[in-house]
Each structure stands twice: as structure tokens, then as C-alpha cells.
Structure 1
Amino acid sequence: MRVLRRAAAMVALMLGAVGMQVVQGGAAQAALPTAAVVLGDSFVSGEGAGDYQPVVDASGTAQAFPGWSAANSNAYFCHRSANASLFKASLPGIQDRFNLACSGGQPADIANPSSARAKGRSVASQLDQLRAVAQTHDIDVVLIGLGSNNTQFTFGDVAELCANRFIADAWTGWWEFWAYLNGDVPQEPCTVSDLATDPEVVTATTETTAALRQVLDTLAQIDADGVHQVVLQTYTNPLPLDVATQYRDEDSRTDTRDKFRALGAERYAAGCPIHRASLAPGHMFSQNLGTLVKNAYTTLAAERPAADLRVLDVQKAFDGARLCENPGSPTGVLATPVRVQDGPSGTPITSLSGWDKIGIQRLANTCVTYFQTCQESWHPNAAGHTVLGQCLTGALTAAPRTIVTCARNANGTLTIS
């Protein structure tokens, strides 16, 4: 009997060596190729990194670039980049990689078609897309970036709010503001409560946790061998806590003065059209997003102590290389500058010098009507995604069920701890 058991074990080893799996009943099947997948929103889809790939829409049609004046609901504008961090990470043993994330993705999009909500895109639920991958692959790595968009607030709305207040303040004098605009265009710096209140963060955490729970439940049902690593990534702020000295005043005007067009144009060109006083609240917002993800992790890790689940905290991954943090911005930074177009032309405006407030309003309206003309703004660029890929590599080699921090050092190296 012992000899028979040894013989059976030897057969199993031989089948494994040639890519076969032994299954109950004695049947054998080919081992599925291994896969890494990414789910979530723009910070993991590759928004800002260029080289966007066609995206299969809800009808099963692959959508390539549809033109700048197309509806923003087009699946292509998920902006799934070949330069996204998942494709830049070193993942030994992984044969194929799948980007299922979508720019603007919300927790509801995990289990439901994105088109089921306002401003969603025409793509199937991310879980349905995940199930399709599991039909042909053994899913071993799952990267998830979720939480910056939800029913309470979205990253795009937050960024738009603060940038628009700065631009309005820079180009509109107080007398124009009251005489022609009736004082109804906010021009003051953003505060923490403008971006996300504590109750809003609590609700967003609940939504995100529920969506992540659905992902884990689905993986338990569909993963070929039941073994997979799940990484929950936080967010990093594209802007510094303060701008470099050269961006603080122009023509003896700071952003605390009435109308400062030269300074406004200078900061726009550098990629950071925002009040200095808005920077600290912006970082508090980013920290709240990080806390949101960590709290979701804490809940899920307690529920599933055997799960290989971890947090990748990247809030410090762009330290020293943020927009306007150093002279010469946006050269050498890890995030995309704010850029708009004058109509859906495909040509980004890189300088606002000489523009009047009527022209500025036209640019703002273009962003509202054709969001794809400005949606890359303030996201990790290709270099930034390379850094995030290195962070992911480090997170996957860490001990299970931990919070892994990835921080950029002054010399550009990363410390992962």
C-alpha cells in the first residue's frame, strides 16, 4: 500500500512538471496560465500615463480612441494604459496581466455596470470582467485602487474645485467679481471641509469596504487554486505641501492679492494652478483617502484572517518630485500637470499668458463639456507609474497581512518598509 501511495505521488509530481494538475476522480487538466489583475479607478488604470489601450465595452465591442468630441461615457476613456503600474512591476511567476480598472471608477462599479450610475462609462462590472479572466487564467495577484471616487466625493471634483477657485481669483478683480458675476463664483482657497467632511469619509469607507468584500468573495469562488495575493493601494498627492520659491509671487503679487494673472499663468504652466493655502487641505484629503483604505483593510483582515491581504501605502512615493515642488516644473515630476484644451482639439494649452477672463471661461467650459480633454490632469505620469510599479513589487515580497509603506528618498531611490 505504501508503494502504491509513493507511486501516486510520483505521478502527481510528473504531471505537475509538464503543466498538468491532478484533480479529484483521477482526471487531469492543463494548468491555467497565471495572471495578475488590477481593479479600481484612475490611479491604477494608468490615467495620465499615455499609451491607452482599446477597452471592450458592455456590448463586447473593443473601443479604440473615438475622437476628442465623443461622449465621455465611451469605454475607451477608462484610460487603461500599457504604462500602468501593474505592467511596470516585477512579478515573478506571473504570465499574463489584465487591466480591468477604469478612470473615475467607484465602489458601485465593482459589482454593477459603470453605466448604471451618472457619469459612468459603458463597461461591464469589474467583477464580471474578473470572472471572464478566471475562465482562462489562475489569478495569483490582484491590485486594487479604490476609494477616491464614491457617492460622497470624487477626486476629479475636488481637483476641479480648487483649480477653478485659483483661476477665478487670478483672472477676476474684485470689482468685476461683484459687478458682473454677482459674487457667485468662489475664489477663496479650498478648506478641508470643502473637499470631504468627516461624515462623507465615513460613508465612503463603508462603500469601499463593501465593494472590496465583494471582490474577495468573488475571488474565493472563481480562483482556480484559491491562492492569491490582494494588494490595496492608497493614493499619493500630485502637489507638494508648498510650492518652490519661484512660484510664490510674480510682478510683486502673491495669490493673496486681488487679481494676479502673471502668477496664475506661471503656476498653470508649471502644472499647479492652486492657492498655496489650498495645499495643506489637499494633503489632508489625501491622508483621509489613505486612512479610508487602511480602515477597510483592518475590517476585512479581521473578517478573513487567512487571506493574503495587505495595504500598499504610496502617500510618500512622490516626495521631492511633485508638481511645483522644485524649479522647472513640470520637468522631472512624477505627476501630470493640469492641462485644458480650447475646444476638443486634442492640443493641450500649456500657457495662459495673455489670456483674458473670457478665454479662460471658454477653456473651463471645454473641460466640463468634453471631460476627456482635461481628465489626465493631476495623475501619475508614465514615470510615476514606474515608481508605483516598483512599490508594488516591494509590497508583494512583504509578509502577509501587513501595511507596506513605499517612500521616495531625496536621491530618487525608494524605501519600502
Structure 2
Amino acid sequence: MSRFRRTAAAAVLAVATAALTTAVGLSGPATAAPPTAAVALGDSFISGEGAGAYAPVVDVNGVAQGFPGWTAPNNNAFFCHRSANASLHRASLPGIQDRFNLACSGGQPHDIAAASSARANGRQVAAQLAQLRAVGQSHDIDLVLIGLGSNNSSFTFGSVAEKCANRFIADAWTGWWEFWAYLNGPVPQQPCSDADLATAAQISAATAETTAAVRQILTTLREIDADGQHRVVFQDYTNPLPFDLDPKFHTEDGRDDTRDKFRDLGAERYAGGCPIHRASLLPGHRFSQGLGSIVKSGRDTLAAEFPGADLVYLNVQRAFDGARLCESATSPTGTLATPIRLQDSPPNGTVVTSLSGKDKIAIQKIANTCATYFQTCQESWHPNAAGHQVLGQCLAGAATTAARDVTCTRTPTGTITIS
């Protein structure tokens, strides 16, 4: 029986018990049941990165941090980017009274049991387990959404995305005759390969690291959830880019991305939100599938270790089909992911929507702004508010199904199916 059905049954039983007590004249201490809660833990795809409407975040010192400005240190707690539009808040979850988004953009397995501030580039927030325990003191936790694995000690989603986008931009604006002229050596311009994104050894290490962190979550839930009834949903990742670009983005001015210097095409793809070599797309999808294997393997391992635990794997890799960046000629309009968007220096919140007419010096300046003030570009290639609405539908399906392996798919007509 699902937790939501049990909640309804318990309510009926409570009413009957109260009536019986009144009828026979019995009395006793009345203990109100704590409110039920759904909790989100993990990284940017769970916190709501890209969806806007970011709430203040309490830092490791207990101070709520609102937006600190575009030039503030990126480790500020606010840049966890916990969104009111995150999938946890968009999902229909009958029986759930309160929702707590404890995820943090850039979150790693390390951040589950230790303060994120204790590692390099980590944000100034407490360990997610410490935050989970605080929720457990006042609430009955019935649902936990976990998104973990895209960032770890071996690789991070942000570094992978930055690598492939930068290679495309360098290739588009820098000629081969300039390629060898840089004082710091040649600038990589070739498409990303599978090995550039994550090796098999890195995926294996990330799997072990992620599984160990989630094991700590499950152990903590056993300790703090008094009734022991909670469903844990392990969500994987969806790629913001398609398997191939719409033909509109294949060539411009007679040049494709296999030519030397193709600035018009580079500007066109940037405007569409997909500054990427076509040859990088399939390795990118295999990388996404690798992330899925991390999540699925972790769930399977822990299901064997925690017999009887209610653990559900939610596959969302096809949840954005037909609405990925540059999958149609109108991109980024109508897509479910945020385009890559940068700011000029000094950053002031105004994004650069067009690179047309800019030379490579201007391009480098814009790229450096992202490197120096990562908050100016960290929303890039994440689910937008509409994307999180879809992921909310996926979560709603995973929260109530009797299945333990759930796939959420978007049909060509935009219908979301749960199977």
C-alpha cells in the first residue's frame, strides 16, 4: 500500500478511534500527528537551477542569504539557487503538507554528510543531512527526492558543459593560423569525445562515491522518521541538447562546424542556445546515459542492502524529447531547458543574447566573465521553469506508482507518459 493510501486509511481510523473514545467516556493525552513533508536533496537538477524565483538560502552560520550581487563570491549560499519553480514544488503530491528543498546547485556526494563549505568551491551551506535532520524534528517525512551523481570528485556537469561549449566557440572564432599563436599553448577546438566527458573508470568511481552518500541518507531516514514509512525517488538526468540539431543550425554562410572559423554559424547556434559541435552531441548523450547508470546502480545496490525500503528509480532521460535546445528552428523559444547565456564585464545582470559582429577579443572577455563570476552563467543548460513543471509531473508519477523502475517520457505532442 502506498504511503498516500496509508495516510488516508490512518485518518479514517483516527476518526473512528476518537468516536469510540467519546462514546465510552475514556480520556487520554491528545498527541497531534506532525505534518507530512516531501524533501529534495542533491544538486542543480533538483534545486531548480535555471527555473528562476530563487529563495534566500540559510548559510552555514544560520543567516538567510538573499541575492548578494553579480560580483559576489560564487560560494555564497544564495547561489544554491533553490527555486520556487523546482520540480518538488510543481509536483502534485496528495497527502504532503509541507515541502523542503535542501538541494544545492553544484552539490556533490561530499555535501551530503559534510558542509559544502569544507571543500574547494563549495557553497557556504551546512551538510544536507544536517538540514534533513532539522526537518525530521518537526515533520513526518513521507517522500524524499534525490538527484545526485552529475557532480563528484571525478567530474562535474558544469565543467563538462563548459569544456564542450568553449571548444566550439574557440573553433568558430579562431583560425587555424592563430591556433598555435597562444602563449599558453594551443586552444582546444575539436569536438568533445566520450573520453573528454567521463571515462569508464570515472563513472565507476562516481558510482561508488554517490552510492556511499545515498547510503548515509537512507541510514539517517531510518533514524529520524518515526513511522519508518517514506518513499525515496532516485531521479537521473535529462540532456538539454538533442541527438542532432535542427537543419537550420547545420550551416551558415556556406560553412558548417567542420570548417576553419565559422563565426556566423557560431553566432547562430549561440543565439539558439546550443553553441556546440554536432559531433559532440552523441558523446553528450552517452555521458547522460552514464549519469543514469550511476543513479540506477546506486538504487539497485541500496535496495539489496535495505530490504523492504521503498526505493524508486525515476528515469527522465527522454522527458524533454522534442523540446530540447536547437531541436527546432525556433529555439530557444518553446524549449524546456535554458540556453547558454553569458554576461559582459563587469557583470550587471544583462545577458549577451547575440555574438554577431563580435571579434575573438570580445568573445574572450565575455567568456572570462563566466569563469570569474560563475553565477553569471551557471543557469545555462539546465531545466527552465517549464522543464521543472515537466519534471514535477514525472515526480508525481514516481511518488504514487507501484513500480520500482519508472520511465518518464515526452511524446511528440508534448504529452508526458509514466511507464
TM-score, with length taken from structure 2? 0.93
- The one-letter amino acid paired with 1:264 is G
Per-residue Cα deviation, 1:307-326 (whole angstroms, up to 9, x for no partner): 00011100000001000000
Aligned to 2:350: 347
- Once the two structures are TM-superposed, the CA of residue 184 in structure 1 deviates from its matched residue by 1.9
- The one-letter amino acid paired with 2:370 is C
Change (3 A) 1:73 1:15: farther
- Once the two structures are TM-superposed, the CA of residue 224 in structure 1 deviates from its matched residue by 2.8
Aligned to 1:73: 75
For residue 157 of structure 1, give the secondary structure of its aligned residue in structure 2.
helix
For residue 135 of structure 1, give the secondary structure of its aligned residue in structure 2.
helix
- The one-letter amino acid paired with 1:45 is S
Change (3 A) 1:121 1:275: same
Aligned to 2:14: 13
> 2:360 aligned to 349, 357, 360, which one?
357
Aligned to 1:256: 258
Cα distance in 1 between the residues matched to 2:112 and 2:71: 28
- Once the two structures are TM-superposed, the CA of residue 179 in structure 1 deviates from its matched residue by 2.9
> 1:275 aligned to 274, 277, 285, which one?
277
Cα distance in 2 between the residues matched to 1:306 and 1:272: 44
Cα distance in 2 between the residues matched to 1:171 and 1:394: 45
Count how many residue pairs are aligned between Structure 1 and Structure 2: 401
For residue 319 of structure 1, give the secondary structure of its aligned residue in structure 2.
coil
Change (3 A) 1:188 1:181: farther
Query: Map of 1:27-42 to 2, 5 A cutoff?
Result: 28-42=30-44
- Once the two structures are TM-superposed, the CA of residue 345 in structure 1 deviates from its matched residue by 1.3
Per-residue Cα deviation, 1:147-187 (whole angstroms, up to 9, x for no partner): 00000000000000000000000000011112345652100
- Once the two structures are TM-superposed, the CA of residue 139 in structure 1 deviates from its matched residue by 0.5
Superposed structure 1 runs of 4+ greater than 3 Å apart: 12-18, 180-183
- Could you say what the CA RMSD is over the residues aligned between the two structures, in angstroms? 1.7
- Once the two structures are TM-superposed, the CA of residue 396 in structure 1 deviates from its matched residue by 1.2
Cα distance in 2 between the residues matched to 1:60 and 1:15: 43
Cα distance in 2 between the residues matched to 1:312 and 1:13: 33
- Once the two structures are TM-superposed, the CA of residue 415 in structure 1 deviates from its matched residue by 1.4
- Once the two structures are TM-superposed, the CA of residue 141 in structure 1 deviates from its matched residue by 0.5
Cα distance in 2 between the residues matched to 1:210 and 1:178: 44
Aligned to 1:135: 137
Query: Map of 1:1-400 to 2, 5 A cutoff?
Result: 13-14=14-15, 28-180=30-182, 183-343=185-345, 344-399=347-402
Per-residue Cα deviation, 1:287-313 (whole angstroms, up to 9, x for no partner): 000011000011001111200001110
Change (3 A) 1:17 1:227: farther
- Once the two structures are TM-superposed, the CA of residue 17 in structure 1 deviates from its matched residue by 6.0
TM-score, with length taken from structure 1? 0.94
Cα distance in 2 between the residues matched to 1:123 and 1:186: 35
- The one-letter amino acid paired with 1:226 is G
- The one-letter amino acid paired with 1:292 is I
- The one-letter amino acid paired with 1:308 is D
- Structure 2: stretches of 5+ with no match in the other structure: 1-12, 20-27
- The one-letter amino acid paired with 1:147 is G
- The one-letter amino acid paired with 1:89 is A
Change (3 A) 1:413 1:14: closer
- Once the two structures are TM-superposed, the CA of residue 29 in structure 1 deviates from its matched residue by 2.1
Cα distance in 2 between the residues matched to 1:341 and 1:79: 18
Cα distance in 2 between the residues matched to 1:217 and 1:15: 35
Aligned to 1:406: 408
Cα distance in 2 between the residues matched to 1:324 and 1:178: 32
For residue 219 of structure 2, give the secondary structure of its aligned residue in structure 1.
helix
- The one-letter amino acid paired with 1:215 is I
Change (3 A) 1:191 1:16: farther
- Once the two structures are TM-superposed, the CA of residue 13 in structure 1 deviates from its matched residue by 3.4
- Structure 1: stretches of 5+ with no match in the other structure: 1-11, 19-25
Cα distance in 1 between the residues matched to 2:72 and 2:324: 31
| Identical positions, percent | 72
